[in-house]
Amino acid sequence: MEIVRCLILGSGPAGYTAAIYAGRAGLNPVLYEGLQPGGQLTTTTEIENFPGYPDGVDANAMMDDMRRQALRFGVEIRPLMAVKAELGQRPFVITLDDGSQVGCWALIIATGASARYLGLPDEERLRGAGVSACATCDGFFYRKKTVAVVGGGDTACEEATYLAGLASKVYMIVRKPFLRASKAMQERVMANPKITILFETNVLSLLGKEGVEGAHLVRKKGTPEESTMDIAIDGFFLAIGHDPNSRLFKPWVETDESGYIVTQGISSCTNVEGVFAAGDVADPQYRQAITAAASGCKAAIDAERYLAANGK
């Protein structure tokens, strides 16, 4: 079995930044790209809030730049996905989806999180054409337009409030007769004249061929008062939660109740010495490209110090 000093799982901003730093530090890192090369950003279009790009940058182009920057420092980038992790031994052993195995002395987990979608065929069809799971990323494109946010938790309230600062009207589509969000967040959305909350409402389908033009909704489904209605919208935002991609590591690595990997203090260290976590898989709070990149940098520095201290 091949044994590498530093193995990085994930190819979003966290994984690539870790790779750039680890490569420059001479750790000869190997990075596995995983299921979605380039990570979640590749599902959005333009990035306007990553410092250094005053005119914005195409998300795929930016991820490609990060990839090339990693290659420049000798990082070996491989297209496979990890399907099994054995972290109770040294070196750690990772099994890939082609059945091969690789050992490593230091492991950086940067496997990200996946936004939850409702599972409608239209979401897939119109993803990137009006369907988004990130208001901070894409809200700006809906200035003075009408948008809908699905969900009734803190994320949905936060996104609706953010979008109300840009759009002319925001619908919140909430399946229950109440919001799950904290009281303060509830009060904020209730008090915002631009936000209309549609309680006990579910989405049946989205309207529009090239881009989102509306949503077909059902209210009080399964009751005698059940009715359907259409709303005209330009953007459709999902805020029904994210799932961190931490399942493989759970037998060893401590996670919180939502599955996010717990890191120690301001470091990227997990409870397993030699295993570091960076990016959305360990971040229930910020989930931004720039915060992911910063944590990837920390993980590489932590890995470098760990390897040096252990003579590996």
Among 39, 112, 152, 244, indicate the residue that binds ligand NDP (CB under 6 A): 152
What is the C-alpha to C-alpha distance for residues 215 and 230, in angstroms, rounded to an integer?
Answer: 6
When asked if residue 240 is in the footprint of ligand NDP (CB under 6 A), the reply is yes
| 137 counts as catalytic | yes
CB of 252 to ligand NDP, least distance (A): 24
CB of 200 to ligand NDP, least distance (A): 10
When asked if residue 103 is in the footprint of ligand NDP (CB under 6 A), the reply is no
When asked if residue 244 is in the footprint of ligand NDP (CB under 6 A), the reply is no
Question: Which residue intervals of the chain are DSSP H helices?
Answer: 13-24, 59-72, 121-125, 135-138, 154-164, 183-190, 289-309
Among 97, 221, 284, 291, indicate the residue that binds ligand NDP (CB under 6 A): 284
CB of 18 to ligand NDP, least distance (A): 25
When asked if residue 151 is in the footprint of ligand NDP (CB under 6 A), the reply is yes
| 138 counts as catalytic | yes
When asked if residue 241 is in the footprint of ligand NDP (CB under 6 A), the reply is yes
What is the C-alpha to C-alpha distance for residues 118 and 135, in angstroms, rounded to an integer?
Answer: 17
Which CB sits closer to ligand NDP, 75 or 206? 206
What is the C-alpha to C-alpha distance for residues 92 and 106, in angstroms, rounded to an integer?
Answer: 8
Among 35, 71, 118, 207, indicate the residue that binds ligand NDP (CB under 6 A): 118
When asked if residue 135 is in the footprint of ligand NDP (CB under 6 A), the reply is no
When asked if residue 216 is in the footprint of ligand NDP (CB under 6 A), the reply is no
Q: Of the residues 134, 157, 269, 297, which is catalytic?
A: 134
When asked if residue 288 is in the footprint of ligand NDP (CB under 6 A), the reply is no
Tell me the residue number closest to ligand NDP, measured at CB: 153
C-beta atoms surrounding 199 within 10 Å: 15
C-beta atoms surrounding 184 within 10 Å: 9
Give the residue among 233, 246, 224, 292 at the shortest CA–CA distance from 111: 246
Per-residue string for binding with ligand NDP, 64-83, x by CB under 6 A? --------------------
Q: Which two three-digit tokens encode residue 260?
A: 């996010």
Q: Which of residues 154-183 bind ligand NDP (CB under 6 A)?
A: 154-156, 158, 175-176, 180
Residue 2: which residues within 8 A CB-CB, separation 6 or more?
102, 103
What is the C-alpha to C-alpha distance for residues 171 and 147, in angstroms, rounded to an integer?
Answer: 6
Q: Of the residues 137, 157, 269, 297, which is catalytic?
A: 137
In this structure, are residues 233 and 150 in contact, taking their beta carbons and an 8 Å threshold?
no
CB of 244 to ligand NDP, least distance (A): 11
- DSSP symbols for 170-236: EEEE-SSSS--S-HHHHHHHHT-TTEEEETTEEEEEEE-SSS--EEEEEESTTSTT-EEEEEE-SEE
CB of 246 to ligand NDP, least distance (A): 15
What is the C-alpha to C-alpha distance for residues 168 and 176, in angstroms, rounded to an integer?
Answer: 25
| 104 counts as catalytic | no
Provide, for the chain, the percentages of residues in helix, strand and coil under a 3-state DSSP scheme, each rounded to the nearest 5: 30, 30, 45
Q: Of the residues 138, 234, 280, 302, which is catalytic?
A: 138
Which residues are annotated as catalytic? 134, 137-138
Chain contacts with ligand NDP (rule: CB under 6 A): 118, 150-156, 158, 175-176, 180, 240-241, 284
